[in-house]
Amino acid sequence: MTQLLPLFPLDIVLFPKMVLPLHIFEERYKEMIGECLRSKAPFGVLYTHEGTTARVGCTAGILKVLKKYDDGRMDLLTQGGDRFEILHFDTSASYLRGWSESFADRDGAQPPDRKAVEQLLELFRETARILKRSEAEKVRVSPGYQGLSFQIAGGFPLPKTVKQRVLEGRSETERVAILIAYFNENLPRLRRTGVAAKRAGSNGHVR
């Protein structure tokens, strides 16, 4: 079933259950958010960068209007809902809209192998330690590992192109593999950087 969805192109990749604060200041988006508030309907967030807009995105539901300004600007707290795919865009309104379909995992997709999940978590935790970030402590593993990749990719400073690939994955197994490949590719450099930083901190010289 297709539906006409209000769209907010942003230089952000939104994931299901991810909380996203937004500051609304452009007139067209003030209008869009006003209509969403009146109809209690979500809008879609699409990753947009350097003139290119992705066609797979995630809906955002408005949890709370944090502040309204006299000039109509708003601070919102939103949360990611369901993934969708744009079939074609509609430019007849003041803001972008698109005819969309639900974008879900393939029917019958099997959960990832336990060893793959353990490998991902080990790589993720090591990366977080080197970068001195606490996101790894907040990850919760649910039965079947569903949503694990979204937790990791949504809360960690990965390249947005990698985040978009994760969002477009059609199974948790596929998304876990994408993240394992990314961490495996980047960890050697981070390890060297971490060792160099420790040496510099201990004697003032990097060898």
pLDDT digits (tens, 9 = 90+) for 20-63: 999 999 999 999 999 999 999 999 999 999 999 999 999 999 99
Q: Is the pLDDT of residue 196 over 80?
A: no
Q: Would you state the pLDDT for residue 193?
A: 79
Q: What stretch of H or E contains 64?
A: strand 56-68
Helices (H), 156-207: 160-168, 172-203
Q: Is the pLDDT of residue 8 over 80?
A: yes
Query: How far is Cα 68 from Cα 76, in angstroms, rounded to an integer?
Result: 9
126-148 burial code (b ≥16 CB/10 A, e <16): bbbebeeeebbeebeeeeebebb
Question: Which range has the worst mean pLDDT, 135-144, 184-193, 194-203?
Answer: 194-203
Q: Is the pLDDT of residue 65 over 70?
A: yes
Axis crossing angle, helix 148-155 with helix 114-131, rounded to the nearest 10: 10
Model-level pTM?
0.90
Q: What's the whole-number mean pLDDT along residues 127-155?
A: 92
Q: Would you state the pLDDT for residue 194?
A: 62
Confidence of residue 195 (pLDDT cuts 50, 70, 90): low
**Per-residue pLDDT tens for 66-94?**
999 999 999 999 999 999 999 999 999 99
Contacts 24+ apart (CB under 8 A), 110-114: 110/171, 110/173, 111/144, 111/145, 111/146, 111/172, 111/173, 112/145, 112/172, 112/173, 112/176, 112/177, 113/173
CA atoms within 13 A on the CB side of 199: 9
**Per-residue pLDDT tens for 152-191?**
999 899 999 999 999 999 999 999 999 999 999 999 999 9
- Cβ neighbors of 32 (< 8 A, separation 6 or more) are 6, 8, 43, 94, 95
Residue 153 tokens read as 């990719």
Query: Contact, 192 vs 133, CB < 8 A?
Result: no
**Per-residue pLDDT tens for 10-32?**
999 999 999 999 999 999 999 99
Q: What stretch of H or E contains 128?
A: helix 114-131
**Per-residue pLDDT tens for 101-121?**
999 999 988 899 999 999 999
Residue 85 tokens read as 């795919």
